[in-house]
Amino acid sequence: MAEWKNGFESSTGKKIAFIGSECYPFVKTGGLGDVMYALPRALIRQGCEVRVILPLYRCIPDKYKALMGYRGSFMMDLTLEGRTFYVGIMEAEKDGVIYDFIDNREFFDWGNPYTGLWEDIPKYCYFSKAALAILNYMDWIPDVIHCHDWQAALAPVYLRTKFSGTPVGSARSILTIHNLRFQGICSIPHLKYWSGLPDYLFNYPVFKINDDEANMFKGGLAFADRITTVSATYADEIQTDFYGEGLNGHLFYHAPKLQGIVNGIDVEQWNSADDKLLVAPYSAADVLEKKPENKRALQQRLGLEVNDGLFVIGLVSRLTDQKGLDLIDSVFSEMLDSSTQVVILGTGDPRYESSFRYYESANRGRVCAYIKYDESLAHQIYAGSDVLLVPSLFEPCGLTQLISMHYGTVPVVRETGGLKDTVEPFNVYTGEGNGFTFDRYEAGLLLDAVRRARDTFFNNREQWNRIVVRDMEKDVSWENSAKQYLRLYDELKGI
């Protein structure tokens, strides 16, 4: 791995600034953190210059703070009153990506990244404005400013208002929707005060959603030059009542600038051929020989019956309704026949934690519910399971099905969002496909998909083995996605 640095050496190519609230390895609560880490690195490999702008949260581990160098500071006005706030810049570099951290203890020196909307609205008003201000301060003017989720949604608005006559105002903006469920909704006076933006923006085409409330994401979507989301299917779904989270009409209006680009995974972090957490690393060339070794190691670690001939179902997930766990819960006993074992890893809703613990206690040797997160166990479940369940109610993109395929574990998914875009249903007649799918959100259809997978595993092993190898050979890296973003950046330079 490349060494961390606190300086910047210029290169050639498009200049892209990423603005977002989290990024692995500094701070991560979900898939956004993975994207903010992996996509910039893929763009660097395509010849771009990339800066990633983040808050300097107190919770960032000291080992990373020690690698940052002071870049400068200034005072910036914010709020309707024009109050001034300190903006410090701490900088580090890794693998060619520059990371600029905005330092302000008043906003970022307490709690976790997200606390409560009342506190988070001021925090991310400040962050969006300061992110643009530091680009001017450093005289590093990007071609495109790529913003992520509601926490950075004010940046496209500030870009065309407060910064329109400044150097950074020449940049184009993209706003990516990672999960539309979270939008930054608050009272109109609260957002108006902290943003310091003019009254005319607080109408229905921009921030306003009702007589009392404003929506930060809505305003950013209105002002961004382009909108992307993390799969083509999700881009269509969010224009409907069911998936649109109240913004479907707004997104339908802005559909001409909306595009879905599916995520990839970091194939260096998730590399079964060089995974030190596995007892038997493997590639597509020897997966059929080595995968059973990993299954046995997983069974042994979790206290399950060690038996190559059993069908192991894995679940690595946040335990929430969004992930389709109510479907799993309602058919668990039917899914667990005498030839099947189930392994669960994750935390979340106490209702599901308790339910899965009960299934474990009632089925010792056949079920393990590991109700916490363990990185090494996640790797071992991906390698040792035969299938991975992802029956989500909605899934903008999803990473677990991509990782499971990359590890030769066949996904069983509901046809929604990125799951539909990345998993082709297996066709027993043609042999095509790389997973097992169901469409409507019904427990019986999930059970049917599991049974089809299990039947293929036991009764059509030749076809099953072809699916496993096909999944491992599928390109799930960020390279294809980065090329699509590059084409979009090129389009933006021309408008």
Whether 75 and 133 map to the same domain: the answer is yes
0.75 exceeded by pTM: yes
Q: Are strands 172-177 and 226-229 parallel, antiparallel or unpaired?
A: parallel
The half-sphere exposure of 405 on its side-chain side, counting CA atoms within 13 A, is 26
Whether 190 and 299 map to the same domain: the answer is no
Buried b (16+ CB within 10 A) or exposed e, 154-166: bbbbbbebbbeee
Distance separating alpha carbons of residues 68 and 65, to the nearest angstrom: 5
Is there a domain that residue 328 lies in? yes
Residue in this structure with the two tokens 């606190």, named with its chain if needed: 6
| Closest residue by Cα to residue 18 from 36, 43, 31 | 36
Tokens of 180: 């539309």
Whether 223 and 288 map to the same domain: the answer is no
Whether 386 and 249 map to the same domain: the answer is no
| CATH number of residue 209's parent domain | 3.40.50.2000
Is there a domain that residue 5 lies in? no
Tokens of 477: 């890296």
Whether 483 and 461 map to the same domain: the answer is no
pLDDT at 5: 53
| Closest residue by Cα to residue 30 from 182, 162, 246 | 182
| Closest residue by Cα to residue 369 from 399, 386, 345, 351 | 345
Distance separating alpha carbons of residues 272 and 405, to the nearest angstrom: 11
Is there a domain that residue 163 lies in? yes
Whether 285 and 237 map to the same domain: the answer is no
Spatial strand order of the sheet with 49-55 comes to 69-78, 83-94, 97-103, 49-55, 15-19, 144-148, 172-177, 226-229, 258-260
The values of phi and psi at residue 283, to 5°, are -125, -175
Q: Any bridge partners for residue 27, and if so which? A: 23
Domain limits at 320?
272-473
Distance separating alpha carbons of residues 259 and 233, to the nearest angstrom: 10
pLDDT at 398: 92
Whether 467 and 483 map to the same domain: the answer is no
How many folded domains does the chain comprise? Answer: 2
Is there a domain that residue 8 lies in? no
Collapsing DSSP states into helix, strand and coil, what is residue 272? Answer: helix
Are 217 and 186 a contacting pair, CB within 8 Å?
no
Is there a domain that residue 3 lies in? no
Whether 259 and 386 map to the same domain: the answer is no
pLDDT at 30: 82
Are 414 and 324 a contacting pair, CB within 8 Å?
yes
Is there a domain that residue 332 lies in? yes
Instruction: Please count the other Cβ atoms lying within 10 Å of the Cβ belonging to residue 40.
Output: 26
Whether 348 and 251 map to the same domain: the answer is no
Whether 204 and 276 map to the same domain: the answer is no
Give the alpha-carbon dihedral of 319, 321, 326, 328, to 10 degrees. -50
Is there a domain that residue 33 lies in? yes
Are 226 and 259 a contacting pair, CB within 8 Å?
yes
Tokens of 76: 């910036």
Is there a domain that residue 2 lies in? no
pLDDT at 9: 41
Whether 289 and 222 map to the same domain: the answer is no
pLDDT at 7: 42
Whether 238 and 324 map to the same domain: the answer is no
The values of phi and psi at residue 158, to 5°, are -60, -40
Distance separating alpha carbons of residues 380 and 371, to the nearest angstrom: 16
Collapsing DSSP states into helix, strand and coil, what is residue 61? Answer: coil
Please report, in tens digits, the pLDDT of each residue of the chain (495 residues total).
Answer: 345 555 444 334 899 999 999 999 999 988 899 999 999 999 999 999 999 999 999 999 999 999 999 999 999 999 999 999 999 999 999 999 999 999 999 999 987 899 889 999 999 999 999 999 999 999 999 999 999 999 999 999 999 999 999 999 999 999 999 999 999 999 999 999 999 999 999 999 999 999 999 999 999 999 999 999 999 999 999 999 999 999 999 999 999 999 999 999 989 889 999 999 999 999 999 999 999 999 999 999 999 999 999 999 999 999 999 999 999 999 999 999 999 999 999 999 999 999 999 999 999 999 999 999 899 999 999 999 999 999 999 999 999 999 999 999 999 999 999 999 999 999 999 999 999 999 999 999 999 999 999 999 999 999 999 999 999 999 999 999 999 999 999 999 776
Please write the tens of the pLDDT for every residue from 362-406.
999 999 999 998 999 999 999 999 999 999 999 999 999 999 999
